[in-house]
Amino acid sequence: MKKKKILPIPQGFTAEDVKTESSICTGEKTIGFYSAADKKLHFAELVSDRTDIENFYEKYGIEKGR
């Protein structure tokens, strides 16, 4: 099995900035790094289930629950 490459957390963000959001209209969920300055998710990805959330944390080498 090939080891996944862990990406660095984007500059200006920390593990505590990870947030999930749901669309009011469609119910579509996204996960990314939340910026309080501009009130937006950056590096956002679509989430369809719990596995996608776990994969996001693994992708950046973040322990969930931190």
Query: pLDDT tens digits, residue range 4-59?
Result: 789 999 999 999 999 999 999 999 999 999 999 999 999 999 999 999 999 999 99
For the chain, the structural domain boundaries read 15-59
Could you tell me how many helices (H) and strands (E) the chain has, helices first? 1, 3
Per the model's pLDDT, the better-predicted residue between 47 and 3 turns out to be 47
pTM assigned to the model: 0.86
Residue 65's pLDDT band (cuts 50, 70, 90): low
